[in-house]
Structure 1
Amino acid sequence: MLSSEARLQLLTPPNGSVNVVIDTDTFNEVDDQFALVHALLSPERLNVKAIYAAPFHNKRSSGPGDGMEKSYQEILEILELVHVEHEPPVYRGAAAFLSSETTAVESDAAHDLMRRGQAVTEPLYVIALGALTNIASALLLEPSLSERLVVVWLGGHAFHWPHNQEFNLKQERAATRVLLASGVPLVLIPCMGVTSHLQTTVPEIERYVEPRGEVGQFLAE
């Protein structure tokens, strides 16, 4: 496991473009579509190496596997609309949540993250926008990844918030515990109390986003 000094060094804000993979339950809510498009259109800051479909389960899916598959298809649709020079590969993630904190859910996404993490010579940033199943599974399969990754996770609420019933966390408590116990450098982006302040309006979307071609129309709709 990394020393505290080494972990802090990896958490130093980087300069220039960094290599990232994005783990996203894209079909769940509209914020992931905006985040994915922004990342793909920001090569000067983010070099997107791969995209992973994350599982989710609510009224928009019949189960975690269905949520993952719908997210996978949504990612492919976005890539058809965003014309980038180097299109990153897309991998299906876990079809189920972790049943315990010791057993991985194997998937193409978890295995790709494991391979990429083992091959890097500089930190690989993992942008996690949903449940942590794929990332926790990769860490269970190869614990040494905790020394090679920096995870940026949208999950939980601000520490002063009166409860922590946040969607990404509460549907995957086991994976969250795996991540927190792994020692991997973590940038936590809380939902209520932090990202809840990142707001826009329908008129702003109609003026600044919708005119931006097919992908702008897709996001506005």
Structure 2
Amino acid sequence: MTFPQLTIEERIRRLDPPKGKIRAVLDTDTYNEIDDQFAVVYSLLSPERMQMEAFYAAPFFNELSTGPKDGMEKSYLELKKILGLMNSGIPAYPGSTHYLSDAQTPVESEAARNLVDRAMSSSEDDPLYVIAIGAITNVASAILMQPEIIRKIVVVWLGGHSFQWPDTQEFNLNQDLHASRTILNSGVPLVLIPCMGVTSHLLTTLSEVRDYVKGQGTIGDYLYETYLSCADDHFGRSRVIWDISTIAYLNNERFTPSVLLPSPYLSEDFRWSHDASRHLIRYVSHIHRDSVFRDFFERLAQANK
């Protein structure tokens, strides 16, 4: 498949961290881990930075689901629940019921079709930011359905591990090899936020969540109970909430230092390899953990005054 090509100048300009308010959608496997719920809430608590237009349910398959379809459906219901708790009228759409079978064939879904429609109605001067915190199947499918959206979107994806990590067998990236390769190879403007070695610093504890999240309205109590139930024993235990890194990047670029680097190749055994001639992506190399959590806690408290 042939994808549209951006000039180097266009790509660098598109990959500049946004300065003003943006339009955004969030693609999430919300039922998979508790950090997705935090990210959904964080996005809705940031109206001066982002106008959320839609939420998409992503597939996942682990011990919490019987397969990608079941994982997506559970995520869709969880999305609807959170949006209801926050009295939000922003729509949510069900996504892919399975992963890409090859590098050419998209998976039809309401989410992918909605993304195509929203992207194609966007101006190249006002791109749609596609925040992705799960398997990238819905987003890759939209690109395969209509490659022209590459000119009209910026993808901010929590996927893979840091380039220094010995492998990149991270859950989001690992689930759908064809979709992950589509995002890395298509030339879509991409902000890649790695897990191990970068966002793995976004740790918090039950004590901190009890102090700064519990009691902050219905949604604060829901996030606290969700955190509490994620482990039987919280003594001496912390939990990474890395999905919020994507929202933090868009809220304040100083929270997430980044650099422009050539897009990596992804091997069959889920390892990175590099070629300096490849198109550029923006790569987040560090997270200021305290700044991110402070921003989240302050926004939650302000919303519940």
In the alignment, the residues of structure 2 paired with residue 120 and residue 165 of structure 1 have an alpha-carbon distance, to the nearest angstrom, of 34
Q: CA deviation at 1:29?
A: 0.3
CA distance in 2, matches of 1:125, 1:144: 15
Instruction: Tell me the distance in 2 between the aligned counterparts of 1:4 and 1:176.
Output: 22
1:149-183 Cα shifts (integer Å, max 9, x gaps): 10000000000011111001111110011111110
* Deviation per residue, 1:127-156 (Å, 9 max, x gap): 000001000000000011111110000000
Please name the residue that 1:70 is paired with. Answer: 74
What is the TM-score with the length of structure 1 in the denominator?
A: 0.97
Distance 1:55 1:154 in 2: 15
Shift of the alpha carbon at 1:184?
A: 0.6
Match of 1:22 among 21, 26, 49: 26
- Identity of matched residues, %: 55
2:152 corresponds, among 148, 152, 171, to 148
SS at match of 1:44: coil
1:80 to 84, 89, 100: 84
Is there any run of 5+ residues in structure 2 with no aligned partner, and where? 226-305
Specify which of 189, 201, 206 is matched with residue 205 of structure 2.
201
Q: Give, in whole Å, the separation in 2 of the partners of 1:83 and 1:199.
A: 28
Deviation at 1:200, TM superposition (A): 1.1
Aligned partner of 1:49 in structure 2 is: 53
CA distance in 2, matches of 1:169, 1:15: 28
Query: What secondary structure is seen at the aligned counterpart in 2 of 1:21?
Result: strand
Give the match for residue 106 of structure 2.
Answer: 104
The runs of at least 4 aligned residues of structure 1 exceeding 3 Å deviation read: none
User: Which secondary structure state, in structure 2, belongs to the residue aligned with residue 200 of structure 1?
Assistant: strand
Q: Does 2:132 align with 1:133? A: no
Letter in 2 for 1:100: D
TM-score normalised by length of structure 2 = 0.71
Give the aligned residue type for 2:111. Answer: A
Which of 155, 170, 173 aligns to 1:169? It is 173
Q: How many residues end up aligned between the 2 structures?
A: 219
Q: Does 1:59 align with 2:63?
A: yes
CA distance in 2: counterparts of 1:117 and 1:131, whole angstroms: 20
